Structure 1
Amino acid sequence: MLWVDKYRPHTLDKMVIHMEEAQNLKNLVSTGDCPHLLFYGPSGSGKKTLIMALLRELYGPSAERVKVENKPWKIEAGSRKIEVELTMVSSNFHVEMNPSDAGFQDRYVVQEVIKEMAKSRPLDIVSGNRKYKVLVLNEVDKLSKEAQHSLRRTMEKYSASCRLILCCNSASKVIEAVRSRCLSVRISAPSNEDVMSVLRHVAKKENLVLPSSLAGRIAHHSNRNLRRALLSFEACKVQQYPFTENQTVQTTDWELYIAEIAGEILSEQSPKRLFQIRQKLYELLVNCIPPEVVLKRLMLELMKKLDSELKHEVCHWAAYYEHRMQQGQKAIFHLEAFVAKFMSIYKKFLIAMFG
């Protein structure tokens, strides 16, 4: 078992990080009822861990007895019927799913699938006479606006038998109508000191000697993403043990690949090079690297080698195309548009500088 799963806290009492949020959730459960909840915060901050600890608080250890299934659904979409297959994680008390996996059909998933799940009551009520089932919906910020409006209606109609726990990275991408019907819980990214504290705790449990300098580099390299920090720590253990003070922290393949793409963009600005870059961006997307992450990382790699007078303009266009990406469906168009815009800006700068 990976350390990130092995040392995951299973109860709200054991939450070393986000203790205040855990205590607030515990107080909420003790009142006897639980509203719809919206957990939001950056990746690797602990949202899923808190949600699972909350479910255990609500229903006891049975909430952790889950099964994973790929379930096919036949859904009526207007005058036609469509088939959607979704991966679901479920127990007797909750169902966890990612409706945005259905793509442009996410509206029908929210209308039909969630409605069907909301109708069924928990099979085994053991804790506090709770007569509602919990639906955990991941990545709600990636749902279309139509799907989010459908979600709002579902929340109202089935509130007696169903509670929704929504999870996303950015609450600003969730419509106000949905946000206003939920109790929002902001989960901030852990500080570098918090990450180092968790790394030292895991090292102690594993009987490892972890140098402070290496713990600091792992924390810095993880960019306050606790999941990534633990995976990097385990990779360092596999790479070399005993640890050394100057041991390097491995960079992921996709980060190296984006750095390579940035170098190619800076070395040549032409339609031919743009076509080559497009193929490489496709490869990143096919390997499930989120387009927002690709755009942000690419911008950071380009900024490392730019003059200060260009940085503001490049940041402006990166934000512009990131916003357009959220509104559109085909991420590759917006990634390619950003690269083309950057090439245009950089080429003009080189011509002005060197003629």
Structure 2
Amino acid sequence: MLWVDKYRPHTLDKVMVHVEEAQQLKQLVSQGDCPHLLFYGPSGAGKKTLIMALLREMYGSGAEKIKVENKPWKVEAGSRKLEVELTTISSNYHVELNPSDAGFQDRYVVQEIIKEMAKSRPLDVSGNKSFKVLVLNEVDRLSKEAQHSLRRTMEKYSSACRLVLCCNSASKVIEAVRSRCLNIRISAPSKEEIMKVLQHVAKKEGLQLSSSFAARIALASNRNLRRAILSLEACKVQQYPFTEDQPVQTTDWEQYIVEIASDIVNEQSPKRLFLVRGKLYELLVNCIPPELILKRLLLELMKKLDSELKHEVCHWAAFYEHRMQLGQKAIFHLEAFVAKFMSIYKRFLINTFG
């Protein structure tokens, strides 16, 4: 088992970061009821950990006895019948799913499947908790139609079901949904908090971890706790005992983006654009989020630019990131940004060196 799962806190009392939020949730549970909840914050901050600890607090160890199902659902879309395949993780008390996996059919998932799940009571009634919990991930990626359908479901089935929504950005969730939830912001952990968790994991594994090396891992993780723990485990596999000059392991996809940035800066031509497009496709098919690809690519390109170009490049990155949120095919907007960058950079080289 990976350390990130092995040392995940199972109760709200054992949470080492976001202690205040954990106490707030514990207080909610002690009152005997729970409103709809919206957890939002950056990836790797600990949203899912808090949600699972909350479920255990509410229902005991039974919430951890889960089964994973990948089953097709038949939904009616006007005069047509669509078959949507979704992966659900469920216990006797809760169901977890990602409705945005259905793509443009997400509103039918919300209208039919989630409504069907929300109708039913939990199989086991634990104390006075007579409601089922429905955990929906990545609600910020749902279409506006799906979010409006979600609002109606929240109102109609609130007696039998509580929704726990999880997303990276609350600004992409419509006001009608946000106003019906208790909003809980999970901020990225600080460097000191990450170091504390790394020292805890190292102690449990019987490892000697110096403060300076823990600080380097925390810094390289970019305040992503999950990534920091994975990096620590990767460093342990690479070399132990740790040395002060030991490099912190980076992921393959990040190295790949460094290569893409070098390709773009070294040559600006249709042929090179076609090559870069293929590499971007490879990242997308390996499930790297397009927003993350664009952000990381921008950071790598900025390292290679003169200061006079940085403002213009940032402007166009923001422009294409916005277009990507409105559109469906991420590759079009990533390629458009690369083409725009090539145009700007080539013009700069011509003006500078003739």
TM-score range, shorter chain: over 0.9
What pairs with 1:1-12 in structure 2 (closer than 5 Å)? 1-12=1-12
RMSD between aligned residues = 0.7
Which residue in the other structure is 1:24 paired with? Answer: 24
Aligned pairs, number: 354
Which residue in the other structure is 2:162 paired with? Answer: 163
Which residue in the other structure is 1:90 paired with? Answer: 90
Task: For residue 330 of structure 1, report the CA deviation from its aligned partner.
Answer: 0.5
Q: Which runs of 5+ in 1 are unaligned?
A: none
Q: Does 1:180 align with 2:194?
A: no
Which residue in the other structure is 1:291 paired with? Answer: 290
Which residue in the other structure is 1:346 paired with? Answer: 345
Distance (Å, rounded) in 2 between the aligned partners of 1:135 and 1:286: 29
Distance (Å, rounded) in 1 between the aligned partners of 2:8 and 2:256: 31
Output the TM-score relative to the length of structure 2. Answer: 0.99
Matched residue of 1:60: which SS? helix
Task: For residue 214 of structure 1, report the CA deviation from its aligned partner.
Answer: 1.4
Distance (Å, rounded) in 2 between the aligned partners of 1:286 and 1:164: 31
Q: Deviations over 1:286-345 (max 9, x none)?
A: 000000000000000000010011111111111111111111111001101111111111
What pairs with 1:329-344 in structure 2 (closer than 5 Å)? 329-344=328-343
Residue 90 of structure 2 aligns to which amino acid in structure 1? Answer: S
Residue 34 of structure 2 aligns to which amino acid in structure 1? Answer: C
Which residue in the other structure is 1:120 paired with? Answer: 120
Which residue in the other structure is 1:322 paired with? Answer: 321
Which residue in the other structure is 1:147 paired with? Answer: 146
Which residue in the other structure is 1:206 paired with? Answer: 205
Matched residue of 1:159: which SS? coil
- Runs of 4+ in structure 1 off by over 3 angstroms are none
Task: For residue 211 of structure 1, report the CA deviation from its aligned partner.
Answer: 1.8
Distance (Å, rounded) in 2 between the aligned partners of 1:120 and 1:177: 24
Which residue in the other structure is 2:230 paired with? Answer: 231
Distance (Å, rounded) in 1 between the aligned partners of 2:255 and 2:85: 34
Which residue in the other structure is 2:54 paired with? Answer: 54
Residue 102 of structure 2 aligns to which amino acid in structure 1? Answer: A
Which residue in the other structure is 2:261 paired with? Answer: 262
Distance (Å, rounded) in 2 between the aligned partners of 1:349 and 1:166: 46
Matched residue of 2:70: which SS? strand
Output the TM-score relative to the length of structure 1. Answer: 0.99
Task: For residue 66 of structure 1, report the CA deviation from its aligned partner.
Answer: 0.5
Distance (Å, rounded) in 2 between the aligned partners of 1:180 and 1:321: 30
Matched residue of 2:96: which SS? strand
Q: Deviations over 1:89-132 (max 9, x none)?
A: 000000000000001100100110101101110111123x1111
Which residue in the other structure is 1:240 paired with? Answer: 239
Task: For residue 346 of structure 1, report the CA deviation from its aligned partner.
Answer: 0.8
Distance (Å, rounded) in 1 between the aligned partners of 2:156 and 2:273: 50
Q: Deviations over 1:44-79 (max 9, x none)?
A: 000000000111111111111111010210010111
Matched residue of 1:89: which SS? strand
Distance (Å, rounded) in 1 between the aligned partners of 2:196 and 2:245: 20
Residue 23 of structure 2 aligns to which amino acid in structure 1? Answer: Q
Q: Deviations over 1:227-259 (max 9, x none)?
A: 000001001111111111111111111001101
Which residue in the other structure is 1:273 paired with? Answer: 272
